[in-house]
Amino acid sequence: MKNKYIWLVLISGFLVALDQLVKVYVHTHFHLGESVIVIPNFFNLTYVRNFGAAFGFLAESHPSFREIFFLSMPPIALVIILGILRGVKDTDTKQIIALSSIFGGAIGNYIDRVRFRYVIDFLDFHLYNRWSWPAFNIADMAIVGGVGLLLLLMFLENKKKDNTEKEEGAT
């Protein structure tokens, strides 16, 4: 087995395990909506059930559509990620980490969708309870972090190509 697939299993497996362990704790030790202050006026652990996607997107859509959509899209995304990973060099560690993070995050949230038909969120950032960010979880962080890293890598690669083209044009 190639190293990149070993890294995929290790990274995504770790993220899924961590995500699910914390979600099980929140689900079994908190009441829905219960909040524990961690950093006053900034960060709480709050049990939230998200029936939609990021920021509650599609949460108000028809339940039948929502269930079909959220139960079919993650497997498609996982297959796409595996297809992309197949073309990545074994030595491209940053891209492997990014794709593995997205993969693990997608599985973590998919487990919730299959079990509960919603995703358990609990990380609640706010400023003095006036301005708040929608609650999220470890799987969400893995997905956003992986996508962010991929975007950064693409940006740096494009910048590198632009500099190379400029140098070649100057000669």
Q: Which residues are catalytic?
A: 121, 140
Tokens coding 38: 């961690």
Q: For the beta carbon of residue 63, count every other beta carbon within 10 angstroms.
A: 9
Q: For the beta carbon of residue 83, count every other beta carbon within 10 angstroms.
A: 9
Would you say 96 and 5 are in contact if contact means Cβ atoms under 8 Å apart?
A: no
Would you say 20 and 111 are in contact if contact means Cβ atoms under 8 Å apart?
A: yes
Q: Residues with Cβ < 8 Å from 102, sequence gap 6 or more?
A: 77, 81, 142, 143, 146, 147, 150
**CB burial class (10 A; 0-12, 13-18, 19+) of residue 131?**
exposed
Q: Which of 93, 54, 92, 94 is nearest to 73 (CA)?
A: 54
